[in-house]
Amino acid sequence: MNILEAAIQGVLLGGLYGLFAAGLSLIFGVMRIVNLGYGAFAVLSAYLALALTRSTSMSPLLALLIIVPVMAAFGFVLQRWVLQRTLDPSPLPSILVTFGLAVIVENALLLTQSADQERLTLGRIDTQAIQLGEIRIGVYPLAVFVLALVLLGVLSLVIQKTGFGRSVRAISDDPGTVELMGIKPKRIYAWSGAIAFGLVAVAGVASGIQSSFNPSSGSLLLIFAFEAVIIGGIGSLWGTLVGAMVLGVAQTVGAAFAPSQQLLIGHIVFLLFLLFLPRGLTGKATRA
């Protein structure tokens, strides 16, 4: 496999990581809430899709039409009535609560499902590829990449151009003062939670089609998402996508040299960023 092909695969893989990181970028990067349950809820979404496809033999894509609203509603409720209570100048309460939620979800899946590897399938599309000269590009990874571009583009427009987005950015600057303008921050946080969980559902199902998963897969997905957000620069949605692509390329190109050390190389690149470019590629100022 040549390096160019590996790099293209890495960029496409970055689309999948970007999909994961988008919701996290919104709530961690923009609203400064640390949610360690993120990966577990992505895996939960994949298991929901698995249950739906097995019981009704519908396509995972069709299942998304049910899972995304369900997870978004769950995200709204969780943010409004659970995580809202953990908001504090110290990030510790929300870290502990979301870590606890991740443990609960993972173990509930282990109890009710099994520890076996599972996989969602789209049938023939799973393995189809486009041949461009020497290079083969998977149809499915390409589709995920395009989907990530579209979803991040829409999310970015919402944040930049709409009243809701302005409120989100204003809250990230100064939540106390936002209330003086007649805005209820709790409601904005809750809707952001809904958007983030809708995105995590898409990412979880997309990932479940691309590679196999088990109840414990969430933690690795969470790490990739955080790495993408930090490489890209906290607070920037497009930065997150670029960060995700950097991580993806690091992994696939790294795998071309040392096939068994793919993940390690990704983490090393992330650590290099932390060391030399701690504010990430977009370099937005981070709040102390």
Partner 1 sequence: MTIRVEGLSAAYGQLTALREVSLRVEPGEILAIVGANGAGKSTLLKTIAGQLAATTGSVHIDDRDVTRLAASERARLGILLVPEGRRLFPSLTVRENLQVGTSTGRAGVWTIDSVCDLFPLVEERLDRRAGLMSGGEQQATAIARALVGNPSVLMLDEISLGLAPTIVVDLYSKLGRITEQGTSILLVEQDVRRAATVADQIHCLLEGSTALAGRDLDLADITAAYFGVSTR
Q: Which residues bind partner 1 (CB under 8 A)?
A: 163, 166-167, 169-170, 172-174, 176-184
Residue 181's contacts (CB-CB under 8 Å, 6 or more residues apart) are 170
Token pair listed for 155: 């999310």
| Closer residue to partner 1, CB minimum distance, 135 or 183 | 183
| Closer residue to partner 1, CB minimum distance, 51 or 183 | 183
Residue 124's contacts (CB-CB under 8 Å, 6 or more residues apart) are none
Minimum CB separation of residue 54 from partner 1 in Å reads 46
Minimum CB separation of residue 182 from partner 1 in Å reads 4
Minimum CB separation of residue 161 from partner 1 in Å reads 10
CA atoms within 13 A on the CB side of 34: 16
Minimum CB separation of residue 169 from partner 1 in Å reads 6
Minimum CB separation of residue 236 from partner 1 in Å reads 11
Contact call for residues 225 and 24 (beta carbons, < 8 A): yes
Minimum CB separation of residue 174 from partner 1 in Å reads 6
162: left (phi over 0), alpha (psi -120 to 50) or beta: beta
Count the Cβ atoms, other than its own, within 10 Å of residue 209.
22
Degrees (nearest 5) of the Cα angle 277, 224, 124?
A: 135
| Closer residue to partner 1, CB minimum distance, 182 or 259 | 182
In terms of residues, how long is the chain?
Answer: 288
Minimum CB separation of residue 183 from partner 1 in Å reads 5
What residue spans of 25-37 are helical by DSSP H?
none
CA atoms of 18 and 241, how far apart (whole Å): 5
| Closer residue to partner 1, CB minimum distance, 82 or 183 | 183
| Closer residue to partner 1, CB minimum distance, 170 or 256 | 170
DSSP state, residue 261 = G
CA atoms within 13 A on the CB side of 282: 20
Minimum CB separation of residue 180 from partner 1 in Å reads 5
Extended beta strands in the chain, E state = 129-132, 135-138
CA atoms of 46 and 204, how far apart (whole Å): 5
